[in-house]
Amino acid sequence: MSEIAVVGVGAIGGVAAARLCAAGRDVVLCVRTRFEELRLESLEGCLSVTPPVVTSPEAVGPTEWVLLATKAHQTSGAADWLRALATPRTTIAILQNGVEHEERVRPYANGATLLPAVVDCSADPVGPGHVIQRTAAEIIVPDTAAGGAFVTLCDGAGLGVRVTADFATAAWRKLCLNVAGGAITALSDRPLGVVRRPDVADVARTLIRECIAVGRAAGARLQDELADEIVAAMIDGPDDAGTSMLTDRRRGRPLEVDARNGAVARIGARHGIATPVNTALTALLAAIHA
């Protein structure tokens, strides 16, 4: 078995793949568009690596690790890759947004161990095999045997991997950020500076408060103050700060709304919690590129 296959070499997948290659790991890149070199630009400088790049699932076999770094709504499109790469001896690290990592990937996992992850890293793909990393990476995984093995796998690669005994809270905290920033920028077609409008800031707080209520029902430990903290950070941040959903909207790509605001509405309904604003924005955002 090969050591690592990265499926989805965009922003996060590109950062992870480049740094793991530079750290001496055995990595194969599974992509739709072939490129000769993976180039990562960051504050540390430019890193160029040349791992094997394959464009067909027929060209790969089982691996010890799969890093699934597609957008959440692209998971089913990676099914052929997972069928070729995953066995019960494989661990799939799910480097995706949302709180439904395992439910989303399990139908395609071939009995592999599933390791959900929360990723915090500002990065942009600027072309096939070319990624700009703007902030340091931090990846949080559950404190399990698979989580510990992932920490060891990434040791020395500069990916900031750590374990937590309360993964649910980490995942829901990230979702609280995503339901506001991504949705508002994509719907308004403006960067995060739009949250400086008091009326837009109120919408952001409402989205987050709905997410907090649902997250608590799902077992996360979230404080009331979190909504004000997130909105204050947006207001204090750069006026032109973008989000991945804003970029996808402007490029005419499907939006990752179902795994974000849609998850709040869906899980809220399961617990009998009303989420009218997240529900409305899910419908509006889904309609943009329908």
Active site residues: 174
Question: Distance from CA of residue 26 to its chain's centroid?
Answer: 23
As a whole number of angstroms, the distance between CA 186 and CA 246 comes to 4
Q: Kindly tell me the sign of the dihedral angle through the C-alpha atoms of 193, 240, 12, 70.
A: positive
Q: What single-letter DSSP state applies at residue 272?
A: T
Residue 30 near residue 83 (C-beta atoms within 8 A): no
Specify which residues 142 forms β-bridges with: 164
159 contact partners, CB below 8 Å, separation of at least 6: 15, 16, 19, 20, 137, 139
As a whole number of angstroms, the distance between CA 96 and CA 175 comes to 11
Nearest to 42 by CA among 129, 122, 132, 120: 132
As a whole number of angstroms, the distance between CA 13 and CA 29 comes to 9
Residue 33, classified by CB atoms within 10 Å of its CB into exposed (0-12), middle (13-18) or buried (19+), is exposed
Residue 173 near residue 226 (C-beta atoms within 8 A): yes
Residue 146 near residue 69 (C-beta atoms within 8 A): no
As a whole number of angstroms, the distance between CA 127 and CA 39 comes to 10
